[in-house]
Structure 1
Amino acid sequence: MRGFQFSNFLPDDKPIGGFDDLLKLFMQLLNYTAGDAGEALNWMTQLDKQHHLTTNEYGMGDFINDLKEKGYIKEDPRDGSTSITSKTEQTIRKSALEEIFGQLKKAGKGNHNSNKSGIGEEKNADRREYSFGDSLDQIDMTASIQNAQVNHGIGNFTLTERDLEVEEKDYKTLTSTVLMIDISHSMILYGEDRITPAKKVAMALAELIKTRYPKDTLDIVVFGNDAWTITVKDLPYLQVGPYHTNTLAGLELATDLLRRRKTHNKQIFMITDGKPTCLKENGRYYKNSIGLDRKVISKTLNMAGQCKRLKIPITTFMIAKDPYLQQFVRDFTEVNGGRAFYSSLTGLGEYIFEDYIKNRRKTVR
């Protein structure tokens, strides 16, 4: 047996070159520049000087021209500023989905099949006699008339309850999700960028629902001193503000959105790195960023309990490792009856993906 042979590692120093390779880098940089095309291109130029990303045959100027011609960026004729297009916004979402959920098994659009049959959308091969309580749209009239002719003869047509034949349908779940993203200032403090992975996950989840489960709904709520909704198109441009963390406002808005949804299955995903530090009362902010303020925590936990009574589970994705912060998340999760994941930034997407798909399979009404 020859065994293993070892040799010196020779790194690949070949330049990236080519439009497709540079486009992937450009899309990644847009996540860090909050959709600022000019800043992303400036970063690429600096990287090209240091690491020779381009070749003598294809330079940065060629790449920028191709971006314009292919519809990825546009130039404002008034001041010459560069911005991304809707095509680029969609490409960023697709790139995030491929990066985070690359192992996703392909499934039919909008399908959340369960192992139960009954009133549903898609017919299956099972047939049975009619029983009290079956809906009229389950009755196969053609088969029922044929049964009547066989059972009672053609000359004197009679249709009885025993002639009715019911076709079973596969039950499918529909889910409404609100994704809450913490945009307080702590999401960029302590030398760690937490907002970029968070919004990348949001873009991937939005693209996942849009392409695989288009009958599901996704609302996105961001919360700092206040809470407000944003659209999927806003995600590439999302930035952290000089905000405290008003988790209560985010939960109130998320709950209000879910109340309006007609689906049986509702849930909240919350990405945060810290404790609630802010409330708004009578138009004024009550803030305490030093510690776990009893007043703030109490009202936040009460809201978590209200969500439980409304049958809205909250899954918290905690991206901070401080023991006292994790203890708050444990208390919050216990009150709500939801779930908590203490995730690193690199594993955040996989956690959310697995939990989202698992919920689709088990929450059948």
Structure 2
Amino acid sequence: MTNNRFRYGAWRGGPDPLAPPYDVRAAVDQVGAEVLAGGSLRDALRDMLRRGPDGGRGLDELAARARRMRREALRRGNLDGAVTKARAQLDQALAAEREELAGRDGDDARFAEAMLDNLPRSTAKAVEELSGYNWASDEARQLYQQILDGLRNEVLGQRFEGLKDALQGADPRTGEAIREMLHDLNGLLDKQARGEDTEQAFRDFMAKHGEFFPENPESIDELIDALARRAAAAERLMRSLTPQQREELAGLMQQALGNADLAGEMAALSANLRTLRPDLNWDRRERMQGNGPDLGYGDAANALGELSELDDLLDQLGQEHPGATLDDIDVEAVQRQLGRAAADDVRRLQELERELRRQGWLARGDDGPTLSPKALRRLGNTALKRAFSELEAGRRGQHDVRSAGAAGEATGASRPWEFGDEQPLDVVRTVGNAVKRAPGSTVTLQVEDFEVVETENRASAAVALCVDLSVSMVLDGRWGPMKQTALALSHLVATKFPQDALQIIGFGRYAMPLTQNELAGVEPDYAKGTNLQHALRIAGRHLRKHPGAEPVVLVVTDGEPTSHLLDDGEAFFDWPPRRETIEATIAEVDEITRYGATINLFMLGDDPGLRRFIDAVARRCGGRVFTPEAEDLGRYVVSDYMRARRGRRG
């Protein structure tokens, strides 16, 4: 054991096993807090993933890093470096050749000098014209050959990662192996394009030519993806040059590839890849910025490939397209561009999104993700706790009655237990009966000793909570407290008073009943109008559906009525309020009052017209008026509901 040596390094086996997982419940609470503050569910989910839960890195931070890297890539250098480098090498070769010719006598030397003096100004055409030239200088010949060999190696090395080292040697067999690989590769891609089964053909190809693909693709799709990205980058390089630069580089590449078979196979490869991956940015043009160094062909193409991949990542991280999910993000591309830590962050966010669905916190709706009933219960419980935070702790009558059967409020009396009774046991009287029956040190309970608490029947309540959804509620910061209030009351009724029937009614220009889920995601009504008349009409229908229940109507609004329904069902709007609107609203108030319900009104704001209307309605129906601050609205509404239940009809 003393001879053992241990080496330590960065973890390379996938996501960091020691990284803490995101807390799913904390993520739900984070989303819920934004919803309770007035935000929409979709925006809250998106913001949570953008900012990152629990202070972790989110999509915004990753996107910011991608944008910084894109700016750096744009300043990396000039794209026409391949042409510039070829021009410099050609000038060196011509200078060495002229120096050699100057030391020679004879017509042949003078003729050669004249030929060099009359070379075309175009680098590509000059290289082409010198293809058959008999160099007098060995140094010049080598420099000329470096132009062609260097560009050929860069072109092939840019397309095939495994060729960079192989092309450094001068073994002629390498060129033949490359041509054979390209021929087989194009045959494989032709089969794939025709829809044939290529599984075995791919395995055979990799067994034969795997040395050229050190990335070791596991499927033909992975192979095509890698090759297509590089081919598209090369195509974008050509399109990003000026017409003159493009013509120069194309001519040089034709000379560099030389062999007609090799050039033809390369052209066929580009065409096949473009057919198989048409969605890549083949035709995009980029303009590099700054005065950086001249980039060679491979560096320039790689820089454009990096820019394209960063653009795709920014689109994926933005999550702006319809139906976007985190599974759309290419984690491998994130790792290539932003590093393993960033890829691990994306994987954890993806896992969080999946866990939110798997554990039942999110459900898929027609318009995207929605909060599940489980999440709404948690959200409502949070809102209820806020509403009760300033009330007297431990108030009686708020216990869970889901298992109470027909029991109701205790009368203070008890009676002997009978089979089938669901009332709670009176423990004191039960034990007392046993002691009286058999005094002694040992107390044994028998059936006749048991007594239950006498209760009176508990009546239910029909509750209509009418909440203003007009845009003024948003502008004045009352939207969030309104949502909290409605969710808190909904949760209170569902968990503490399940025998009650609650309906939440939102009203803007029109009114509509809202479920808990609809309330969580409801957006403000930007159409002008506050149609309390329509809301009260719906409330009256709800009350009449529960004739044996105590009727409770609560109205939360920050504006006087400015809209009402006409005979044809269309909403009429005008401001200041028309007499017809006020009369139609008062008619609904009278209808509810005749039914025996009292309307309690919660007035937000201090508009004089609203105050006059609210006071008049309260006097007319015998209701009460509350003027809470927005942050106290939940406490006021919940307290009034509890008071209304205690003062209900017998």
TM-score, scaled to structure 2 = 0.41
Alpha-carbon contact 1:195-1:239 (below 8 Å) kept: no
The structural deviation recorded for 1:262 is: 2.8
Could you tell me which of 215, 219, 223 is aligned with 2:507? 223
Distance 1:285 1:63, change over 3 A: same
Judge conservation of contact 1:74–1:85 (CA < 8 Å) in 2. yes
Alignment partner, residue 464 of structure 2: 178
Structure 1: runs of 5+ lacking an equivalent: 1-16, 112-118, 128-166
Hey, what does 1:108 align to over in structure 2? 399
Q: 1:88-142 CA deviation, whole Å, 9 max, x = no partner?
A: 233222222222234563633349xxxxxxx978786357xxxxxxxxxxxxxxx
Aligned to 2:604: 319
Name the SS for the 1:219 alignment partner.
strand
Do the aligned residues in 2 keep the contact of 1:330 with 1:340 (CA within 8 Å)?
A: yes
> For the aligned residues, what is the CA RMSD?
3.4
Q: 1:94 to 1:343 in 2, by over 3 A?
A: same
1:193 aligns with 2:466: no
| Contact map agreement 1:221 1:228 (CA 8 A) in 2 | yes
Whether 2:407 is the aligned partner of 1:125: answer no
Which amino acid is 1:108 matched to? H
User: Secondary structure of the equivalent of 2:536?
Assistant: helix
Aligned partner of 2:56: which letter? T
Match of 1:343 in 2: 628
* Correspondence for 2:30: 25
In 1, Cα distance between the equivalents of 2:598 and 2:346?
49
2:366 counterpart of 1:360: no
| Contiguous gaps of at least 5 residues in structure 2 | 1-20, 58-340, 416-452
Structure 1 residues 263, 41: CA separation in 2 closer, same or farther (over 3 Å shift)?
A: same
Report the residue type matching 1:181 in the other structure: V
SS at 1:241 equivalent: coil
Residues 276-328 of structure 1 deviation map (CA, whole Å, 9 limit, x = unaligned): 11122222646344213222112212322232221111111111221221121
Q: Answer whether contact 1:180 1:222 (CA < 8 A) is retained.
A: yes
Q: CA deviation at 1:227?
A: 2.2
CA gap 1:23/1:64 in 2 versus in 1, 3 angstroms: farther
The one-letter code of the counterpart of 2:579 is: R
When residues 122 and 30 of structure 1 are mapped into structure 2, their CA distance, relative to the original with a 3 A threshold, is same
Post-superposition offset of 1:67: 4.5
Aligned to 1:72: 361
Q: Partner amino acid for 1:44?
A: M
1:87 Cα deviation after fit: 2.7
Does the CA-based 8 Å contact 2:35-2:480 persist in structure 1? no
Whichever residue aligns with residue 361 of structure 2, its letter is Y
Deviation at 1:339, TM superposition (A): 1.1
Distance 1:206 1:82 in 2: 22
Which residue matches 2:56?
Answer: 54
Equivalent residue, structure 2, for 1:268: 553
Give the CA deviation at 1:248.
Answer: 0.9
1:300 aligns with 2:585: yes
Residues 1:43 and 2:334 are matched in the alignment: no
Partner of 1:3: none
Letter in 2 for 1:275: E
Q: 1:29 to 1:108 in 2, by over 3 A?
A: closer
The separation in 1 between residues aligned to 2:569 and 2:492, in whole angstroms, is 39
Structure 1 residue identity aligned to 2:477: D
Identify the residue that residue 96 of structure 1 maps to in structure 2. Answer: 383
Select which of 205, 208, 229 maps to 2:489.
205
Q: How far apart, in 2, do the equivalents of 1:60 and 1:317 lie? A: 46
Q: CA deviation at 1:42?
A: 3.5
Change (3 A) 1:341 1:23: same
Q: Which amino acid aligns with 1:35?
A: L
Please state whether the residue corresponding to 1:172 is helix, strand or coil. coil
Q: Deviations over 1:314-351 (max 9, x none)?
A: 11111122122112111111111111111221000000
Distance in 1, matches of 2:29 and 2:504, equals: 26
- Residue by residue, what CA displacement relative to the aligned partner does 1:198-234 show, whole Å, maximum 9, x if unpaired? 1221111011011111111101222222222222232
**In structure 1, what is the equivalent of residue 618 of structure 2?**
333
Kept after mapping to 2: 8 A contact 1:101/1:204? no
Letter in 1 for 2:503: D
Q: Tell me, what secondary structure is at the counterpart of 2:41?
A: coil
Q: What residue is the counterpart of 1:14 in the other structure?
A: none
Q: Secondary structure at the match of 1:347?
A: helix
SS of 1:220's partner is strand
Q: Give the corresponding residue for 1:136.
A: none
Aligned residues: 296
CA contact (8 A) 1:333 1:340 kept: yes
Q: Aligned AA for 1:356? A: Y
Range 250-259 or range 58-67, more displaced: 58-67
User: How far does residue 83 in structure 1 lie from its aligned partner after superposition?
Assistant: 4.5
The 1:67–1:90 alpha-carbon spacing in structure 2 relative to 1, beyond 3 Å, is farther
Maintained 8 Å contact 1:316/1:341: yes
CA contact (8 A) 1:308 1:336 kept: yes
Q: Distance in 2 between matches of 1:43 and 1:309?
A: 48
TM-score (norm 1): 0.70
The 3 A distance-change label for structure 1 pair 333 and 121 is: closer
1:109/1:214 contact within 8 Å kept: no
SS of equivalent to 1:315: strand
SS in 2 for 1:96: helix
Q: Give the direction of change, closer, same or farther, for the CA distance of 1:67–1:173 in structure 2 (3 Å limit).
A: same
Distance 2:603 2:513 in 1: 21
| Paired position in structure 2 for 1:158 | none
**CA distance in structure 1 between the partners assigned to 2:489 and 2:504 by the alignment:** 10
CA 1:46–1:250 in structure 2 vs 1: closer, same or farther (change >3 Å)?
A: same
**Equivalent pair of 2:29/2:379 in contact (CA under 8 Å):** no
In 2 relative to 1, CA 257–346 (structure 1 residues): closer, same or farther, beyond 3 Å? same
Match status 1:232 vs 2:553: no
